[in-house]
Structure 1
Amino acid sequence: MDEKKIRELYAGDDITKVFTNLHSSANGLSSEEAAKRLKKYGPNAIKKSEEKSQWKTFFKNFISTMAILLWISGAIAMMSGTLELGIAIWMVNIINGLFSFWQERAAKRATDALNNMLPTYVLVIRDGKKMQVDSKDLVPGDVFLLQAGNSIPADSRLISASSMQVDQSALTGESVPESKTTKYDPGEGSYAESNLIYSGTTVGAGTGRAIAFATGMKTEFGRIANLTQKQGKTESPLTRELDRLTKQLSIIAVSTGVVFLVCAIFFVKYPFAKAFILALGMIVAFIPEGLLPTVTLSLAIGVRRMAKKHALVRELNSVETLGETTVICSDKTGTLTQNQMTIHYIWTPKHEYHVTGNGYVNNGQIELNNKQLWYEENPDLHKLVQISALNNDTTVQPSKVKGGKPKILGTPTEASLIIMAEKAGFEKQKVLVKYPRLRELPFDSDRKRMTTIHRWNDTQYIILTKGAFSDTIKQCDQIQVDGKIRKMTKEDSDRAKQVNADYAAKGLRSIAMAYKVVERKDTDVSKLTIDQAESHLIFVGLTTMSDPPRPEIYNAVRRCHEAKIKIIMVTGDSKLTAKSVAVQIGLTSKKARVISGNELNNMSDAELRQALKGEVIFARVAPEQKYKVVKTLQENGEVVASTGDGVNDAPALKRADIGIAMGMTGTDVAKDAANIVLTDDNFASIVAAIEEGRAVYSNIRKFLTYILTSNVAEAFPSILFLFSSGLIPLPLTVMQILTVDLGTDMLPALGLGAEAADPDVMKQAPRKRSEHLLTKSIISKAFLWYGLLSSIISIGAYFFVNYQNGWPSVPLAASGRVYMRATTMVLGAIGFTQVANVINCRTNKVSVFKKGLFSNKNIWYGIIFQILLFLVLTVTPGLQELFNTTNLMASDWIFLFCLPIPLVLLDEARKWLFYHKAYKK
């Protein structure tokens, strides 16, 4: 139902029309009628998006492009008679698929444990009696009761309200609670109608009675959830890139295989069956069987590291996507800020005081010129603190958990005043005994003030008033300065107005404090009208407050800027507050353009695309508009991460390349739409997650370089065999090629997936969408540097063994002990040069010694396994025949173990030569 129709049906001042439209009354429904409506409208619950069946979730891990290629390769291997090869390839696929499924299931279970959305019970009136019912059983037409702290279970129209304020930040992103009354006022922005309350929001203060007109998916909460669920999930860039890489490698592998098949038949005169096995060996050699396990392991390690940094990843590929993020669309309230109103300054006509410490914790003090003050020491401060605490209906209960948030029973505004008073040394309960409250004139949205009346002494009452500055100052005709009361002059009034304007320009919200003392003999408290109580007041001063930035946000923003990541604030808060916070934390400069929701509606797509290229902030935006911002950024070619905690953030979270929801304060809908959930609601955790994401992508490239290097060394012997038309016997057999791919290379390659991020990873710009995994740099490094060196050394080892046995006088051996020793040395040389290569691939520019030669234990475990496996293949009789190996001489082992040392030092010289100047900068 659109807002216009809602206003026509439910928001008017005539409550009888509401009862008529809903076929209900002030006494609610009968139990029988409620049961009928429950059957008709369904439960009052937000339906989750339809989840894939467990079987679909399970099998999707086995049908990626790379997985399908491995299934086909394994089948071909089996049909060609190499059963062991086929089984080995299939086992790689099976293990990788099971691991991916297990990791994503674990993330889902952890996310489900965070979900806690609607209240369990609601106090309704049925059959003319109050009764508690499950909130899921609430139906349109039900009348229910509310008090401070209650979550609102349905979209409803207020029947009665007393000092009610509602926190609607889950819907709007607005940190300041909305005042709610039975009188209609359209308010400013979405969901601002004064007599309507919405599902998923919370009563901050006061009490009320309301009638539900929409439940479940028909609520605004449900409507936005439905919008989110209809939005298809964006395929991750990593998935697209892996598919592209798989196709590239498949073309290379098949093309190479075809060439080898033709050459083997026509030049070497091999029979088709034998030539096919040779070609198959080449195809398998160029298919990186370890790619999927390495990618999965890299992502899983990133997931575990991020979990330790309070970021719960729901989908493995989300880790890498974060690494290439170019723009973060961030909510303000609760994400960049603490979602805790905090007093910053106290102003009296004589002094400005600084209030230290953040949030709802009594961990600060009130200072004047850096000197701590107690409220008794200054008469003006004394009176202002007294008004702040006594004219207050909120209670702050300390957390029972160490380090946990205090429980606020009331509004954030009043909570900040209570904490400010505590920092001044004011003990409310003791003072209330001395000055007991006799009456309250509650806050309302018309006059924007609240007044309490207390017994002052035996002959007098004191009337304490707090409220919006502009609405309170006009009720004051006196002013207190240094404890003395005098008439307020125009100069006094103008000065106070200027101070208030200066605070407003800084994004601070002001609350004015005033009072007066009246004679008891002349005053009947019970008959005192609002006009009488709130006239001829004595102005004392102002308190200024805001929702402060998180302490860690400053460094997080700085690191994002260093990483060339743009942050755009998209909030439901006012333009002034949004810009003030953005400038304060270094998000933007003062020149940033602030675009309101209304302005955004009037902008063309071209104008929005242009605006997004500069410094920009979005304020007072609706959910659909935040979604539009994210969508337009993507159309501009950006990789977008969107953060948020409210249901209003969910559509944008789902549309974004990476959605990041808050775990502690986030709604169920937001978590369901997100890829990542921050368990500590800390924006700084996003920066750590981005670093992990970049490390993952870098590690995949390192693995690719390493694996292509061995492919070159594996192919080179076969090329010699073909180009010599068989005169050079095959220096490396098909089974030996498979030994490298599935045996000796696998674990060191997997170790690269666990490599920590390079020191400069967060000082580089995000990779461009047009930049692919397989780049010219990787190809040149793998083929023309590492691969060429490995090929020369391994072929050199082959000819050296033959040289020791009479070559070139004696023809190259094609069988027998000399041939087996020569091929064994080729296999060993490739394995030991790969030891050097895996160490070299650990860093791109920085010295591996600077990073720590032994800092990645997984690689060294892989190297040890690689050497032991080679040893087993050379000394085990049954395996010697299968893999065409034999025992090596002591001098052979010495040569092999010495091989990695010069290769590592040579690559260190290359890195120093090309990159040391850049690192000095």
Structure 2
Amino acid sequence: MAQSKLITDDYAQLTATKFYDDLQTKQTGLTAAQAAQRLQQVGPNTIQQTQSRSQLKAFLKNFTSLMALLLWVSGLIAMFTGMLELGIAIWAVNLINGCFSFWQEHAAQKATDSLKAMLPTYTQVLRDGHTQQINATELVPGDVFLIQAGNSISADARIMQATSLQVDESALTGESLAVDKQAAYAKGEGRFAERNIVYAGTVAVSGTATAVAVQTGMQTEFGQIAALTQHQKTTVSPLTTELNRLTRQISLIAILIGLVFFVAAIFFVHYPIAKSFIFALGMIVAFIPEGLLPTVTLSLAQGVTRMSKRHALVKELSSVETLGETTVICSDKTGTLTQNQMTINHVWLPQQTYKVSGEGYVNNGHLTLTDQPVDLTSDNDFTLLLRIAALDNDTDIKPGQTTAKPKIMGTPTEAAHLILAQKAGLDLDQLRQTYPRIQELPFDSDRKRMTTLHTQPDGTTVIYVKGALDSTLALCDTILDHGTVRPLTTADTERINQANQHYAAQGLRSLAFAYRPFDGSHDLPDDPANCTIANTEQHLTFIGLTVMADPPRPEIYAAVEKCRRAQIRIIMVTGDSPLTAKSVATKIGITSDQARVVTGDELSAMSDDALQTAVKGEVIFARVAPEQKYRIVQANQHNGEIVASTGDGVNDAPALKQADIGIAMGVTGTDVAKDAADMILTDDNFASIVAAIEEGRTVYSNLQKFLLYILNSNVPEAIPSVLFLFSRGLIPLPLTVMQILTVDLGTDMLPALGLGAEAGEPGVMDQPPRARDAHLLNKTIIWKAFGWYGLFASALSTFAYFFVNWTNGWPQVALSASGNTYVLATTMTLAAIVFCQIAAAINCRTTYNSVFTVGLFSNRRIWWGILFEVVLLAALMYVPVLQGLFNTTAIASRDWAFLLCLPIPLVLIEEGRKALVRHWQA
């Protein structure tokens, strides 16, 4: 087949003959041989993944980050200094952590892949002049295929014949209302609006059609957006950037400290260069936080686990923390903020307005018709409108299994009217038997009406009409008012139009209802079978309006309020109309009435600078195209925002990929959207995003608590070496390098991991997002680690060292670097540091709140970690092999009593400081 240069839109305007010629096909379809040849030329009708995931690359990336590389070097240094066991331990920690990270991300990716099921499996095509069922992947340009209600559409195609066809294009446009399609060309409003073109990935909700495939696979609009998404560069997460920065900071600090100790060892202690170098290398290893990477991974993994229990599937661990930084959420409306389910909320009659609720109907502020069914024998104005809504209707509702939602077989608008009738107590099956349909004049987009004829219980025939107000009211010359049919006056028409405009200003949609007795008057045919649009849809009696909307999700109000308290802005980005978008945004509290509404056309004319200015204020984007959503995300990022973008359609995928955190809907989301997203909501619940943000903030806070915990032990580890150096060796090392590494890799590790599992503190969502230039290692943490926790621990551990020496004759007896006294002194120094770290683990659990308010024993991981470090310390003291390796010895019961009392004053002093801080903040 010759490759045509015409795009899909151009095919819409060709004559049928020219169209068939251009595609080299015919009304009876392709032959099997032609189809096979074209399939070989254009390839299968699939959305190909241009960037295949390399499992090896995904595995290796966990071992090549800056922190991982630093651990490899640290282990090598430890081996070089003669501490082979500790070098191997450091490498083992790195290996275990890398495998754990890979397993977490691989499990999340497998769960994501299992959600993919966008394109249909089979399609009905005409091949060799006969209808055949083929796999949708075998569909090729030029294939003639059939469309029926409920079918997913497998290719971009032109409609050649259609009967009452309506298509749900929300996957492409974000618009929840079904679109009318027909064989004749008509240019609609916006993109994807040609009346005689259907697109891959959309769904036929009613009617039938015959169409000819124009583009398949990656050449479809669906595929083009997928390709745009796949070729985007994946951005580095803020957490990864911050960890890289922190690694560089710590590496620089460790190297500078090592250099200082190297010079001091040479000039103050007069060590040989080789010995000074080994001493300095040991100090460098001591200052590297070997537990940082596993703690980060564990904190993120636990956040992932907690989120999965709350219906949020995170594909990459770092995405959890990124959510905690979020300052702006660019959210789609349909199906994300709203339920993607049309609902009747008002019934307007000339003499009465009913407000519809889930409980019944509110009439003049009083609840009525709640516990009693509608009297079907009473033909009042209200029940007549309900009857027409239920009978002039081609949709059906199938009950869901157990707790599943009912399945809608047809359009959401008609389904809303069936639900309205059910709320009023009507039995739909009984109603259809009582008023059987005998004729139908199907809905079409030109006249915007649907008409059905029914036999009434008395044997007479009645005509029921529903449609757009402007086209239906023009055919009415009478009005039903309090059960009486009277002439329709100019005043009536004005009042009806004013009511309609009032609802339209609120972003609501209306549908008009009318009827006409089939009584042979006004040129009606004798036989209902001879009814036509021309002789039937005239001289109607107007009854009233139904008013509907896609309602917000019930939980959205609390979620939006939580975002407001957390100072996170929500920007609605939708393909829906400006009126509807602003109405929903105002109703749920995203914006005020003063918000600016920018349409897609206005956005196209905006410069990047103008757009960046616009997104800083209260703004709503309506009628936007896919690439425009992408621009909106970029504009926010240019302003320094951390952007989360939500969505479910193909049109959302580029924005999801560009955003710092892309969030796709798992139930209604398309294949492309799920692939582009960092997180998938398995229940499509916006509130889960807010919960994820809370988890992200908790994870970041826990990382800072971990940093505070491990850094404060560096001070009492360094002070003994400082005393040794600046006394020019007169004070033997109170703590050996082996004992320093024991604290870092042994006793500190499990309590630090426990801090990574700490629950969020109260009020975590009442704080603004942290500044973009904020860092994990900040001045507060440095001061608390080195000038507060570290200072107390240094004083107490140094006191323990000199106290042991004092009880054994010092200062009368000179300090010695050998003998039982020296071994006992270093053991007590090590033990004092460990017990000061027990207090630090408890104190680091909260930043401002009292640890007693969150529950002293609520975090069991920390207490298991504390128990482990005490047991490990005891093993170092009492196991002979370990005594020789770590230069330790057994201590007396009075020494244990001293150690057990150490954490108590440290916890109480810190509680006092936190109380003062809370008082000052208040």
Note if contact 1:695-1:756 (Cα within 8 Å) is conserved in structure 2.
yes
Note if contact 2:71-2:94 (Cα within 8 Å) is conserved in structure 1.
yes
Tell me the secondary structure at the aligned position of residue 336 of structure 2: coil
Distance 1:7 1:903 in 2: 74
Distance 1:301 1:49 in 2: 32
Q: Normalised by the size of structure 2, how large is the TM-score?
A: 0.97
| CA shift for structure 1 position 457 | 5.4
Match of 2:785 among 782, 787, 797: 782
Report the counterpart of residue 285 of structure 1 in structure 2: 286
Distance 2:350 2:642 in 1: 51
Distance 1:458 1:791 in 2: 99
Mean CA deviation greater in 909-918 or 185-194: 909-918
Report the counterpart of residue 432 of structure 2 in structure 1: 432
Letter in structure 2 aligned against 1:437: R
Report the counterpart of residue 34 of structure 2 in structure 1: 33
Q: How does 1:6-25 map to 2 (within 5 A)?
A: 6=7, 9-12=10-13, 14-25=15-26
What does the per-residue CA deviation read over 1:663-720, in whole Å, with 9 as the maximum and x for residues that have no partner? 0110110000000000000000000000000000110010001111001111111011
Mean CA deviation greater in 450-459 or 727-736: 450-459
Report the counterpart of residue 246 of structure 2 in structure 1: 245
Report the counterpart of residue 497 of structure 2 in structure 1: 497
What does the per-residue CA deviation read over 1:377-406, in whole Å, with 9 as the maximum and x for residues that have no partner? 67111110011000000001111141x221
Report the counterpart of residue 676 of structure 2 in structure 1: 673
What does the per-residue CA deviation read over 1:229-261, in whole Å, with 9 as the maximum and x for residues that have no partner? 011111000000000000010011011111111
Distance 1:18 1:584 in 2: 48
Letter in structure 1 aligned against 2:428: K
Q: How does 1:168-247 map to 2 (within 5 A)?
A: 168-247=169-248
Report the counterpart of residue 121 of structure 2 in structure 1: 120
Q: Normalised by the size of structure 1, how large is the TM-score?
A: 0.98
Distance 2:6 2:481 in 1: 53
| CA shift for structure 1 position 7 | 6.1
Report the counterpart of residue 371 of structure 1 in structure 2: 367
Report the counterpart of residue 847 of structure 1 in structure 2: 850
| CA shift for structure 1 position 825 | 0.7
Mean CA deviation greater in 859-868 or 9-18: 9-18
Note if contact 1:390-1:432 (Cα within 8 Å) is conserved in structure 2.
yes
Report the counterpart of residue 726 of structure 2 in structure 1: 723
Report the counterpart of residue 840 of structure 2 in structure 1: 837
Match of 1:632 among 635, 656, 660: 635
Is the aligned partner of 1:706 residue 2:709? yes
Note if contact 1:225-1:669 (Cα within 8 Å) is conserved in structure 2.
yes
What does the per-residue CA deviation read over 1:539-586, in whole Å, with 9 as the maximum and x for residues that have no partner? 111111111000000000000010010000000000000000000000
| CA shift for structure 1 position 459 | 5.9
Tell me the secondary structure at the aligned position of residue 450 of structure 1: strand
Distance 1:709 1:57 in 2: 34
Tell me the secondary structure at the aligned position of residue 117 of structure 1: coil
Distance 2:412 2:6 in 1: 32
| CA shift for structure 1 position 198 | 0.2
Distance 2:828 2:433 in 1: 94
Report the counterpart of residue 361 of structure 1 in structure 2: none
Report the counterpart of residue 518 of structure 1 in structure 2: 518
| CA shift for structure 1 position 273 | 3.5
| CA shift for structure 1 position 434 | 2.1
Distance 2:433 2:813 in 1: 112
What are structure 1's unaligned runs of at least 5 residues? 358-363
Q: In the superposition, relative to structure 1, how do residues 237 and 582 fare at CA in structure 2: closer, same or farther (>3 Å)?
A: same
Distance 1:586 1:38 in 2: 51
| CA shift for structure 1 position 524 | 2.5
Tell me the secondary structure at the aligned position of residue 175 of structure 1: coil
Report the counterpart of residue 447 of structure 2 in structure 1: 447
Mean CA deviation greater in 229-238 or 76-85: 76-85
Distance 1:788 1:459 in 2: 98
| CA shift for structure 1 position 433 | 1.8
Is the aligned partner of 1:537 residue 2:540? yes
Distance 1:459 1:847 in 2: 80
Tell me the secondary structure at the aligned position of residue 443 of structure 2: coil
Note if contact 2:739-2:830 (Cα within 8 Å) is conserved in structure 1.
yes
Letter in structure 1 aligned against 2:49: K
Letter in structure 2 aligned against 1:460: T
Letter in structure 2 aligned against 1:410: G
Letter in structure 2 aligned against 1:912: A
Is the aligned partner of 1:414 residue 2:414? yes
| CA shift for structure 1 position 458 | 5.8
| CA shift for structure 1 position 13 | 6.0
Note if contact 1:277-1:734 (Cα within 8 Å) is conserved in structure 2.
no
Letter in structure 1 aligned against 2:558: N
Note if contact 2:4-2:22 (Cα within 8 Å) is conserved in structure 1.
no
Letter in structure 2 aligned against 1:653: L
Tell me the secondary structure at the aligned position of residue 443 of structure 1: strand
| CA shift for structure 1 position 870 | 0.3
Letter in structure 1 aligned against 2:409: L
Letter in structure 2 aligned against 1:419: I
Note if contact 1:265-1:275 (Cα within 8 Å) is conserved in structure 2.
yes
Indicate the RMSD between aligned Cα atoms, in angstroms.
Answer: 1.5
Distance 1:189 1:852 in 2: 58
Q: How does 1:254-273 map to 2 (within 5 A)?
A: 254-273=255-274
Note if contact 2:153-2:200 (Cα within 8 Å) is conserved in structure 1.
yes
| CA shift for structure 1 position 917 | 4.9
Distance 1:902 1:79 in 2: 41
Tell me the secondary structure at the aligned position of residue 132 of structure 1: strand
What are structure 2's unaligned runs of at least 5 residues? none
Report the counterpart of residue 467 of structure 1 in structure 2: 467
Note if contact 1:744-1:869 (Cα within 8 Å) is conserved in structure 2.
yes
Distance 1:734 1:758 in 2: 37
| CA shift for structure 1 position 35 | 0.4
| CA shift for structure 1 position 157 | 0.2
Report the counterpart of residue 796 of structure 1 in structure 2: 799
Distance 1:323 1:9 in 2: 47
Q: In the superposition, relative to structure 1, how do residues 80 and 457 fare at CA in structure 2: closer, same or farther (>3 Å)?
A: closer
Distance 2:326 2:18 in 1: 52
Tell me the secondary structure at the aligned position of residue 144 of structure 1: strand
Letter in structure 1 aligned against 2:176: S
Distance 1:535 1:869 in 2: 93
Match of 2:604 among 577, 601, 616: 601
Q: How does 1:522-921 map to 2 (within 5 A)?
A: 523-918=526-921
Mean CA deviation greater in 622-631 or 3-12: 3-12
Note if contact 1:9-1:18 (Cα within 8 Å) is conserved in structure 2.
no
Distance 1:9 1:605 in 2: 30
| CA shift for structure 1 position 375 | 3.4
What does the per-residue CA deviation read over 1:476-501, in whole Å, with 9 as the maximum and x for residues that have no partner? 11111121111111111111111111
Note if contact 2:78-2:282 (Cα within 8 Å) is conserved in structure 1.
no
Note if contact 1:459-1:519 (Cα within 8 Å) is conserved in structure 2.
no
Mean CA deviation greater in 594-603 or 812-821: 812-821
Tell me the secondary structure at the aligned position of residue 611 of structure 2: helix
| CA shift for structure 1 position 130 | 0.4
Mean CA deviation greater in 372-381 or 629-638: 372-381
Distance 2:890 2:913 in 1: 36
Mean CA deviation greater in 799-808 or 647-656: 799-808
Tell me the secondary structure at the aligned position of residue 870 of structure 1: helix
Note if contact 1:630-1:652 (Cα within 8 Å) is conserved in structure 2.
yes
Runs of 4+ in structure 1 deviating by more than 4 angstroms, as ranges, are: 2-5
What does the per-residue CA deviation read over 1:483-526, in whole Å, with 9 as the maximum and x for residues that have no partner? 11111111111111111111111111001110000226953222
Q: In the superposition, relative to structure 1, how do residues 103 and 791 fare at CA in structure 2: closer, same or farther (>3 Å)?
A: same
What does the per-residue CA deviation read over 1:2-36, in whole Å, with 9 as the maximum and x for residues that have no partner? 99943664112622221111101111100110000
The sequence identity of aligned pairs, in percent, is 61
Report the counterpart of residue 151 of structure 1 in structure 2: 152
Distance 1:52 1:75 in 2: 32
Report the counterpart of residue 360 of structure 1 in structure 2: none
Tell me the secondary structure at the aligned position of residue 516 of structure 1: strand
Q: In the superposition, relative to structure 1, how do residues 41 and 758 fare at CA in structure 2: closer, same or farther (>3 Å)?
A: same
Letter in structure 1 aligned against 2:366: N
Distance 2:367 2:896 in 1: 76
Distance 2:862 2:4 in 1: 61
Distance 1:702 1:696 in 2: 10
Distance 1:114 1:511 in 2: 37
